[in-house]
Structure 1
Amino acid sequence: MIFPRIHGATAASSHELSPRVASPAVYADIPWDKSFTYLKYSNRCRKSCIKAQSNMNPIPNASLSKQKDPINIYGPSAMKTMPATITPPNDMFLEQESGHGIGIVEFLAGKNYFVTGATGLLAKGKCHRRASFSVCLILSIHGHRMSTVFIEKVLRMSPDVGKIYVLIRAKDEETAVHRLKEEVIDCEVFQHQRRQYGDKYEEFMLGKLFPVVGDIGEPNLGIGRSEVMNRIIDEVDVFVNSAANTVLDERYDISLNMNTSATLRALELAKQCKKLRIFLHVSTAYVNGTRQGILPEKHFEMGQSITAEKSISNGRPLPPPLNVHEEIRFAKHIVDNVPESEAAQKMKEVGMARATFFGWQNTYQFTKAMAEMVVHEHRGEVPVVIVRPGVIEGTFQEPFPGWIQGNRVLEPVIITYGKGRLPGALADPEVVLDIVPLDVVVNTMVASMVKHGKYPKPGLHVYHATSSTVNPCTMYDLFRSFYLHFASSPMKDAKGNDVLVEEVKFFDSVDEYQAHAEKDVLQKGMIESGITDPKAKPVNGLERKYKRVVESITHLGKLYEPYFFNKVRFDNSNTEELIKEMSGEERKGFRVDMKGIDWEDYFVNIHIPGVRKHVLKKPIVSHGRA
């Protein structure tokens, strides 16, 4: 075969495929005039976030300012204690109870499940500490443990389920049981089950959860014991595939293996299951890459690429067709022909270059899109549901508000800002960031799998677990909420003093953003060193001391740049139809609708307190909460 050339691919594609200059073509089957009906929600947060809530301390009046820069920067991105429960306005969006609904609880009972992704942190970032300041460089956009929350939800709503087989990477069964207990059974999300079963909690859990020694990166998912494989094939009704490598710029070969090939392996095992009713695959709404406009709930087909779509609309020559299997062979060819010492860096560069060339923003998006392609190509007669979440954040209500695990997605930005080290944002304040609480994603998974698994038919159905069309949250809304929280409940510095935060300035230039960060970090560093005269020159070595801090902040900005400037909305017509089919009781017990979520309230009173409690391990006591 002739392997495609990589040299020059990034440079040739970066300007054309930048999310800020991409074609405005709409890749949806809905007319633009309908899109305006969604915009009626877009200013609600902005209007309400001008005033602090009545239970908060007075906040200085100041308006956010936008630092404008006419120069576009192109090129691929470097790429309290428990908060009070927010009572949702159930009556506001629920219709009267009509009929039986989907029959979710009835379906769950007695079924056997196979679940991937319930153990292990799927993406770990490196935390660089310099000058008594840390900023975690997390390269994950979907890192929450959805499978664990999925298991909790199923067990809580239907404790009489059959077996839940949990794939666990371990050297032997003893290690697998240990990891199951440590990473799943001991997880704090199972508060309800602990209260319900008391001293018999672990006995109940071990009676439902069965660890399976395996590895999604290996043939047959690494399941070596034939008797275990036979039990899975004979008993499993529902196959849930949510394991993935979520590092945005991972090595191309690793990302292809863990995201694309592993999905095919999971599907092939599911196809062998004699009682299989549904194969549920968790993707991401951001498989849409550099597309713009309102994007539909449509799967990818083999050979499809975003660059080809844009070439057709612009009348340009078509690029070579995207062939997943050729990409896998291409990655292996490179690994086999470069020195081992250079392989890691080379494969990262190749992954980002191939992603950019075909129209995606990073390797993660690209390989997840190719996973959808192989699902469509190889599903055969298997009923398939693909759930695409937006940017997943902490739980809204279940099993309790504010649960989150790991410093990922928006958490590095929140923590860095709360420490007073992020006064600027490399973002467009008008851009809508598609936020979705973790429990809403899980509810969408459960409801959609039941809808298509109750009376299974061959087919593939896509559901967006997203908010951008029904309840938009702009970057302005987001950072304003950060300010409202930390101005009222500040973090403490190393000396125990309150950290004062400023309202952010927005930058659309990497150079301006970096210059602002350098100035801010140096000024604060001088103050920390006891230099209060603003005209004084930096102490010898102080600039070098904080250089790494500035580099970390700049890298953080570049990392999120594709998402913070991406003018895209995700249509969720299929999800809206799903909600209509649910009974009133099901809509309460399995909340999928996000129209009633107040984003300011969510971030100020639920999510950020959850980050401080569960990630930083420093719960706050404020607003009269114990």
Structure 2
Amino acid sequence: MENSREKSIVEFFKAKTILVTGSTGFLAKIFVEKLLRVQADVERVFLLIRAADAASAMQRLEHEILGKELFKALKEKHGDGFQSFARSKLWPVAGDIVHENLGIQDSNLVNKLFKEVQIIVNVAATTNFCERYDVSLNINVLGAKHVLQFAKQCVKLEMFLHVSTAYVSGTERSGLIPEKRLSMGETLRSGSNSCYLDIEAEIDLVEKKKVELQADHNLTPLAQKLAMKELGMQRARFFGWPNTYVFTKAMGEMVLGHSRGNLPLVIVRPSIITSILRDPLPGWIEGIRTIDIFMMAYANRKLQSFPGDPQMTVDLIPGDMVVNAMMATTVAHSKQQSEFIYHVGSSTRNPITYDSLLQCWFDYFSMNPRTGKDGTPLKITTKMNPSIRTTFLIMVYKFLLQVLGLIHFITCGFIFGRLYDDLNRKYKYLKLLIDLFEPYTFFKGRFDDANLEKLRAMMGKEEMLFDMDSKHIEWNSYLHGIHIPGILKYE
């Protein structure tokens, strides 16, 4: 961490000009808030925002970023001067990474960015596990390529930081997974099943599929959308990844590593990102994310079991720790013309098992039950069972649906119609959960974070200000007192 010996993390960001993509997203908001709070003398933060024009971008900045409770501490710090401070530091830019030059229409602004930007933080992504393949390719792969092309034209650029996911390694591996770069064309299939991943061929495949779907006038827009989602899942699993999201994020990494030239590149790979642990607002989160989908289904008594290995590690990491790692790695490798990979998770240093997580859910919701639509408490009396029972239930639902469907057809919908619809909804919901998440509930890998450990050891007095050590998380305290209440507050 050469640069950090000469200048602290806080001092490094003084007078820096930064471009952030995906700036209305969860992680980017935490990054921007932290940056402004610890270094008020940052020169400028350009925020790329999907918007039709500058006025719309400004409106999204006000409502979707600064309007969030996350910025409460910063507002209190600056008092009546907050608005003028924010306007002097934050510059919303209307654009979209799916286009060249990031979709920025103002050529003068483009040239300004080329001349001034020193750090690019690429957080833009679609994180939907089963997103349309064309959408996911455009954002996670071509989007990364466009940001890289833009970065190469920034004459003062010191760092390109890209946020990926630890699960680019897939979910079939076991043991310690190293912080290793992905080579262009690499797949997760091995042996006689190995193959080359041709990204350009995948893009061509999607374009041909879109033409084919649009030419079929019997297909509704919904049917076309579902077909494109299915194509993404098929291609992901063909090459060894569990879903479209991690598959396209892996391809994005390949493009960056292959095409970066001498550009300083840090790829941060968080595991499952959860709510803020400490800084600045414990429990703050946006939306129900990944593992919390199960938790809320369990709390609402819609899910009592889910297949999985009780002793497998659930790799959780609070959002503020991820942002701290992003800032620390930016400083550590500024101007270093190489590629650096960092896992940011907890599975190696402070693991929590699937069974322990389920116990936490039971303990919390048995004491704090949710309320049903009729106002009655949804009492929780048993811990969710990590067994194959849900898979068996899917088979029962499918059989009953076939029987009820036949009766429904014979009677023209007069008998069992409502029961059929209710059962069909439950069947589709459970099947979707299993299709998307079962690969993770049997995952036996642990993410090596040796690079992050070396970085932590060199931080000195700033270690707690930029805490990224998962050993500092006391899981029961965090889940019971911070994370679950945060999910319930911000859902």
Taking structure 2 as the reference length, the TM-score comes to 0.90
User: Partners of 2:276 and 2:346 in 1: how far apart?
Assistant: 15
Q: Which residue of 1 aligns with 2:392?
A: 512
Within the candidate set 351, 356, 365, 1:472 is matched to 351
Q: Which residue of 2 aligns with 1:250?
A: 131
User: Partners of 2:301 and 2:389 in 1: how far apart?
Assistant: 21
Alignment of 1:604-619 (within 5 A): 604-615=480-491
Alignment of 1:182-581 (within 5 A): 182-289=63-170, 290-307=172-189, 310-311=190-191, 316=192, 318-319=194-195, 321-340=196-215, 341=219, 343-453=224-334, 456-501=335-380, 502-508=382-388, 510-514=390-394, 543-544=419-420, 546-547=422-423, 548-581=425-458
- 1:589 and 2:465 correspond: yes
1:317 positional shift: 5.8
Please state which structure has a larger fraction of its residues in helix: 2
Q: Which residue of 2 aligns with 1:52?
A: none
User: Partners of 1:560 and 1:317 in 2: how far apart?
Assistant: 24
SS at match of 1:562: helix
1:555 positional shift: 2.5
User: Partners of 2:458 and 2:6 in 1: how far apart?
Assistant: 6
User: Partners of 1:338 and 1:596 in 2: how far apart?
Assistant: 51
Q: CA RMSD in A?
A: 2.1
What percentage of residue pairs aligned between the two structures are identical?
39
1:333 positional shift: 2.4
Stretch deviating more after TM superposition (405-414 or 471-480): 405-414
8 Å CA contact 2:306–2:389 kept in 1: the answer is: no
Q: Which residue of 2 aligns with 1:123?
A: none
SS at match of 2:51: coil
8 Å CA contact 1:424–1:505 kept in 2: the answer is: yes
User: Partners of 2:276 and 2:289 in 1: how far apart?
Assistant: 14
1:601 positional shift: 1.6
* Shift in CA distance, 511/441, structure 1 to aligned 2, threshold 3 Å: same
User: Partners of 1:427 and 1:323 in 2: how far apart?
Assistant: 33
8 Å CA contact 1:305–1:358 kept in 2: the answer is: yes
**Cα deviations by residue, 1:53-102 (Å, 9 ceiling, x for unpaired):** xxxxxxxxxxxxxxxxxxxxxxxxxxxxxxxxxxxxxxxxxxxxxx9586
Q: Which residue of 1 aligns with 2:410?
A: none
Alignment of 1:149-168 (within 5 A): 149-168=30-49
Q: Which residue of 2 aligns with 1:80?
A: none
8 Å CA contact 1:185–1:202 kept in 2: the answer is: no
Q: Which residue of 2 aligns with 1:529?
A: none
Within the candidate set 161, 176, 179, 2:60 is matched to 179
1:475 positional shift: 0.7
Aligned residues: 464
Query: What letter is aligned with 2:270?
Result: P
SS at match of 1:164: strand
Within the candidate set 13, 24, 34, 1:108 is matched to 13
User: Partners of 2:194 and 2:37 in 1: how far apart?
Assistant: 51
Stretch deviating more after TM superposition (494-503 or 474-483): 494-503
1:497 positional shift: 2.8
8 Å CA contact 2:243–2:436 kept in 1: the answer is: no
**Cα deviations by residue, 1:114-157 (Å, 9 ceiling, x for unpaired):** 0001126xxxxxxxxxxxxxxxxxxxxxxxx1111000010111
User: Partners of 1:559 and 1:382 in 2: how far apart?
Assistant: 36
Query: What letter is aligned with 2:375?
Result: G
Q: Which consecutive residues of structure 2, in runs of 5 or more, have no partner in the other structure? A: 399-414
8 Å CA contact 2:300–2:378 kept in 1: the answer is: yes
Structure 1 ranges of 4+ moved more than 4 A: 99-102, 515-518, 539-542
1:242 positional shift: 0.6
User: Partners of 2:433 and 2:227 in 1: how far apart?
Assistant: 22
Q: Which consecutive residues of structure 1, in runs of 5 or more, have no partner in the other structure? A: 1-98, 121-144, 519-538, 616-626
1:554 positional shift: 4.0
1:510 positional shift: 4.9
SS at match of 2:313: coil
Taking structure 1 as the reference length, the TM-score comes to 0.71
8 Å CA contact 2:305–2:389 kept in 1: the answer is: no
* Shift in CA distance, 351/550, structure 1 to aligned 2, threshold 3 Å: closer
User: Partners of 1:495 and 1:253 in 2: how far apart?
Assistant: 42
* Shift in CA distance, 515/602, structure 1 to aligned 2, threshold 3 Å: farther
1:348 positional shift: 2.1
**Cα deviations by residue, 1:247-281 (Å, 9 ceiling, x for unpaired):** 11222222111100110100111111111110000
**Cα deviations by residue, 1:14-47 (Å, 9 ceiling, x for unpaired):** xxxxxxxxxxxxxxxxxxxxxxxxxxxxxxxxxx
8 Å CA contact 1:424–1:517 kept in 2: the answer is: no
Query: What letter is aligned with 2:176?
Result: I
8 Å CA contact 1:101–1:581 kept in 2: the answer is: no
1:544 positional shift: 3.1
Stretch deviating more after TM superposition (558-567 or 369-378): 558-567
